[in-house]
Amino acid sequence: MKDSDFTLVNVVINRPLHQKFAYKIEGIIGPECVGSRVEVNFSGSNSIGIITDINPEIKHPLSKIKKAKLLDRVSFIAKDIQKVLEFGSAFYQYPLGQCYNVALPKLLRDGKAYAYESIPALDLCGEPDNKTLSKIRSEEQLKLIDVLKNGAVKRKELRERGFSSQTENALVKKGIAKLTELETEQKKFTDTDLPILKENPPVPNIEQQNAIISISSTKEFGVFLLNGITGSGKTEVYLRVIEEVLKQGKAALVLVPEIALTPQTFNRFYRRFNVPVSSMHSALSDRERLDAYIDMASGKSGILIGTRTALFTPIPNLGLIIIDEEHDSSFKQNDTFRYHARSLGIIRAKQNNCPIVLGSATPSLETIFNVKKGLYKKLDLTIRAGGASLPDFQVIDLRNEPLTDGLKTGVSETLEKEIGEETAKGNQVMLFLNRRGYAHHLVCHNCGHVFMCPHCDNLLTVHKGVSRLKCHMCENTITIPEVCPQCQSDALFEQGFGTEQVSEYLKTRYPDIGIERIDRDVVTSKAQLETRLNRITSGKSQIVIGTQMLAKGHDFPNVTLVGILDIDSSLFSDDYRSLENAAQLLTQVSGRSGRGNKKGRVIIQTHHKDNLLINQLINPDCTYLNIAEELLKTRKNLMLPPYTYQAFILSNSSERINAYSFLNQLYSELSGIAYNYSNLALTPVMSDKMEKQQNRYHFHMLVTCISRKTLNMFLTEVRNIVSRKSLSQDLRFAIEVDPIIMC
């Protein structure tokens, strides 16, 4: 074939390489194939790649370029997402091909066809004549034939209409009907004549109305912080603004922190709009995720609600991005492509020239800082929806409480009395403890042996219900031993308490009351979560015990008492972000109380009643923003983010000496180079707090710089230096920009 019979393309491959590779494709293809998949031979094996450029300039003759096979003419990486990934690759120092890989659903990464899953259906082989019909004695079979006369019907739909598989199979056996498959309809949401709304929305208050007008009147890129106290109706603002976007024929992307929010949020959007709503989160199967991806890419759905990776879904005519609970740490990916969905969401909004709304009752200090700099516009919601009042606070000084069995499991005598009084009135009580399991760890009373994970520097948590000790780092489990492995004593006892133990204790105290526990041990799927949430909202469960899964976004109007069992564990940490995180979490938890017509209360248990943060939280004249302002002053004095920028340079290996030696040698090289960069500081090599994780040893260096640009230039030089080294297969190197968890 002649050179003119080929098209030259640049391709990125899922490899740890910061470059594109030239290939040629038979035939003429145009710009519509940028973002399409190709099959290429790379280093002797077949790989899936993504086209990034058509007809790039190259130095080699076309005859020297390898061929690639075009798998489809569909662009999976739309232009706006391509820009986001290119920015993300450079900003987070992660290989472009691997960034593209993260953006694709797994089935597409594996080379599967870009198509909906075919749906099993039943159809007539032809119009049955009277002679054939006269031989059929079954009334059900005759009814089914009548149904199929209008065309093929999904077998699932036939089940829902009461037809059994035996009836279907009987017609197939007689040659009257046949099994077939239907493709999912790909009608765009803008093609329907249905009205946008299914239900009439409530009348917004003046603050909500002002926020709706401010966002909806913005026809170009802009970042809004919707700062609403808990229960102030932020979701109603989202719904109203999305309504305006849909009326323009545009689509909306709503990111939520984790699976805990998805069912409730999805149902509220589904009830409001006639437009198809898709969801995308970790509980979906690979097939479900691809179908949701196609729904959005084809324009069938007008709204996508999802967790972090939903950000990379192609959405034609994107008109709005919303990041709910923008402060939440789960928007930050902490391995591989270590991006923050908030940062890349802003980049995507800019590419689409559309507004982005960051919603939170407790905004991150970074977001508040950007408001102060004039980069974001703040919209305030200070009134609880429906006129509900803010809860009252009460602090229980645990030093003055008797050491009862209840207190040993986290529930003081005073709190227990309050729980009894509230449930007797028919109200609901929510107890918050950010520690799952039965007990924190297991100890031998005879020799003091503490049971540790053999794979991590981590205590094994007691999970009594399944008789296991479990590592919450690597998920390794062992059966709870009967004797100590060190001294053979059977005097083993549990220290500390978790949600499982609190739940078991309260069941003995309130045997006739429904008690619900929500944490990652008992909620492992979307269906399980929905079942438990339904029991709470229906009132079947009056006492709810949970971890931070409960703190975010849920609306339980009958909860009148929230108990925070162990605030002390949030107050003392060597992580400079701990006070910010504690203030956010406790404000969010407190906001679950009194969201309906009944007055709410929050009870905080502590051994440190005079702690400054506790007293700020319970002071009605001190808001979260007041606390944030004080924390920002401290950060500025100490030259900590957001007044500076940070990055970790990381290494880990199954051999401790290898991980340390590599990073220490790199530190020696970088120490001299760092002097070339103004206002940049590099720490010596340190071990992580949990040095051993999953049988690998972790070390790091911390880089701090006043200038974002200078930091990025330095990190690029670090990456280039490492790329020239020959690393052992066992050694892993990474750069983490803007870490939110300190090593």
- DSSP 8-state assignment for residue 480: P
Q: Is 484 annotated as a binding residue?
A: yes
Long-range contacts of 386-391 (CB under 8 A, 24+ apart): 386/596, 386/597, 388/231, 388/594, 388/595, 388/596, 388/597, 388/600, 389/594, 389/599, 389/600, 390/229, 390/594, 390/600, 390/620, 391/562, 391/590, 391/591, 391/593, 391/594, 391/599, 391/600, 391/601, 391/602
Report residue 518: phi and psi, to 5°. -130, 110
Give the tokens for residue 383: 């009134």
Give the tokens for residue 124: 């007539």
Give the Cα separation of 201 and 705 in Å (integer). 48
> For the chain, what's the residue count?
743
Give the Cα separation of 351 and 319 in Å (integer). 11
Q: Is 354 annotated as a binding residue?
A: no
Closest to 241 (Cα-Cα) out of 222, 265, 267, 215: 215
Q: Is 99 annotated as a binding residue?
A: no
Is residue 152 classed exposed, middle or buried when 0-12, 13-18 and 19+ CB atoms within 10 A define those classes? middle
Closest to 690 (Cα-Cα) out of 458, 470, 476, 460: 458
| Burial letters 602-616, b for 16+ CB under 10 A, else e | bbbbbebeebebbeb
Give the Cα separation of 561 and 565 in Å (integer). 12
Cβ-based neighbour number of residue 204 at 10 Å:
18
Helix, coil or strand: residue 63: helix
Locate tokens 């039965």: which residue? 438
Q: What is the rounded (10 degree) CA torsion for 68, 70, 71, 74? A: 140
The DSSP secondary structure of 503-564, one letter per residue, reads HHHHHHH-TTS-EEEESTTT--SHHHHHHHHHHHHTTS--EEEESGGGSSS---TTEEEEEE
Closest to 234 (Cα-Cα) out of 731, 595, 597, 661: 595
Give the tokens for residue 40: 């290429």
Locate tokens 């296991």: which residue? 468
Q: Is the Cβ–Cβ distance between 153 and 121 less than 8 Å? A: yes
For residue 580, the surrounding DSSP H or E stretch is: helix 578-590
| Burial letters 383-404, b for 16+ CB under 10 A, else e | bbbeebebbebbbbebeebeee
Q: Is 705 annotated as a binding residue?
A: no
Long-range contacts of 710-718 (CB under 8 A, 24+ apart): 710/677, 710/678, 710/679, 710/680, 711/645, 711/647, 711/680, 711/737, 712/90, 712/91, 713/677, 714/673, 714/674, 714/677, 714/680, 715/93, 715/647, 716/90, 716/93, 717/673, 718/93, 718/649, 718/666, 718/670
Give the Cα separation of 370 and 456 in Å (integer). 38
Give the Cα separation of 691 and 697 in Å (integer). 5
CB-based contacts of 48, cutoff 8 Å, min separation 6: 14, 37, 38, 39, 40, 71, 109, 110, 111
Give the Cα separation of 36 and 49 in Å (integer). 8
Q: Is the Cβ–Cβ distance between 618 and 354 less than 8 Å? A: no
Q: Is the Cβ–Cβ distance between 507 and 497 less than 8 Å? A: no
Going by the annotation, the residues of the binding site are 444, 447, 453, 456, 471, 474, 484, 487
Going by the annotation, the residues of the binding site for Zn(2+) are 444, 447, 453, 456, 471, 474, 484, 487
